[in-house]
Amino acid sequence: MTIGTKLAWDDTVLPFQLDLPDIRGRVARLDGVLNGVLSQHDYPEPIEALVAEMTLLTALIGQTVKLRWKLSLQVQTRGALRMIATDYFAPSAEGEPARIRAYASFDRDQVSDATAFDQLEEGYFAILMDQGEGTTPYQGITPLAGGSLAACAESYFAQSEQLPTRFALNFGKVMNADGSGEWRAGGIMIQTMPKASPFAQGGGSGDGGLLKPEDLVQGDEQENWRRVNFHVDTVDELELIGPDLPPTDLLVRLFHEEQPRVYDAQPVRFGCTCSEDKVRQSLSIYSAKDIEKMTTDDGRVTADCQFCGAHYDMDPTSVGFEANK
């Protein structure tokens, strides 16, 4: 597929409501954000795919975060991929864009030709919420299961929040008119607020007895959930990332019988919060002897941001515990 121009709905998350079944959702389209994330590193293809999927999930989930809050997603495993960390920084004021950053650590020698999810072994998927200074961050975790990071996120919402949740995602590199390649991603998230929170007595129907979204709905809610998921199943991958179908038109195509309503779209941008002051603060716990060990042959202390690649070069006498006394 060839995409040569920036689209009005790129790098946005559009929240919507389906009034008939009382289900809420979001549609996300990412291009600049994803290119900003992935251009910082030389990831093997399976690792790129995992980071792209995680970034898209972060955009979809993070849209509900309140102003000035921070949402983080993490995956840690014993496989070729050791960790993925993503952050969603909510806008500081209405109308401003949210910011997303992400990075992965991995063992290049262990990366195989297997599918992306197979680069993960024993580990966990986590969602963390930071409401700001003076509050205790919330963290919920779930095992890695289901064959995709999207399935892990669905399992998290089922286990930790008792919220039936479904993701449909697509992402990949596309060709611009000038022949260069760029990443694009698109996805849909739907979620229902059950009037009751049934607990599966014998465990859920997922891997290892984990709860799945359908385990949490019953009666009319169950029928509504099945019907809306049937509509989601009909979405074409190109409809999620292609240039020809705005998110609003996609919602009408999928859910015209469900009385869809849309709200204001949230713009998102690639962005990092690193700074020299924060690097100095992180080094303030080290003694002069420790700082000496970190000093290069050129007599400098350097640090690189894993998220954005920013390079910091400092005088060793200006950092560390002694310098902050």
Q: Give 138-181 as a 3 state SS string.
A: EEEEEECCCCCHHHHHHHHHHHHHCCCEEEEEEEEEEECCCCCE
Average pLDDT over residues 291-298: 88
Tokens standing for 24? 């809420």
Tens of pLDDT along 39-91? 888 999 999 999 999 999 999 999 988 878 999 999 999 999 999 999 999 99
- Chain centre to alpha carbon of residue 169: 12
Q: Report the amino acid identity of residue 151.
A: A
Average pLDDT over residues 21-35: 94
Question: What is residue 151's predicted lDDT score, i.e. its pLDDT?
Answer: 95
- Are the C-beta atoms of residues 149 and 75 closer than 8 Å to each other? yes
Average pLDDT over residues 236-263: 92
Report d(CA 27, CA 186) in Å as an integer. 7
Report d(CA 143, CA 123) in Å as an integer. 6
Confidence of residue 198 (pLDDT cuts 50, 70, 90): low
Question: What is residue 131's predicted lDDT score, i.e. its pLDDT?
Answer: 87
Tens of pLDDT along 112-130? 988 899 999 899 999 999 9
Confidence of residue 168 (pLDDT cuts 50, 70, 90): very high
- Are the C-beta atoms of residues 241 and 197 closer than 8 Å to each other? no
Confidence of residue 197 (pLDDT cuts 50, 70, 90): low
Question: What is residue 1's predicted lDDT score, i.e. its pLDDT?
Answer: 40
Confidence of residue 306 (pLDDT cuts 50, 70, 90): confident
Query: Is the pLDDT confidence value at 203 over 90?
Result: no
Q: Report the amino acid identity of residue 255.
A: F
Strands 266-270 and 98-106, by their bridges, are: parallel
Q: What is the pTM of this model?
A: 0.87
Average pLDDT over residues 90-97: 90
Q: E-strand spans in the chain?
A: 12-18, 23-30, 70-77, 81-89, 98-106, 123-130, 138-143, 165-175, 181-192, 260-262, 266-270, 301-304, 311-314
Q: What is the mean pLDDT of the chain?
A: 88
Q: Structural domains in the chain?
A: 12-270 (3.55.30.10), 276-324 (3.90.1280)
Average pLDDT over residues 231-241: 93
Minimum mean pLDDT range among 16-25, 142-151, 258-267, 297-306: 297-306
Query: Is the pLDDT confidence value at 283 over 80?
Result: yes
Query: Is the pLDDT confidence value at 141 over 80?
Result: yes
Query: Is the pLDDT confidence value at 238 over 70?
Result: yes
Provide the 8-state DSSP code for 27.
E
Query: Is the pLDDT confidence value at 153 over 60?
Result: yes
Question: What is residue 2's predicted lDDT score, i.e. its pLDDT?
Answer: 41
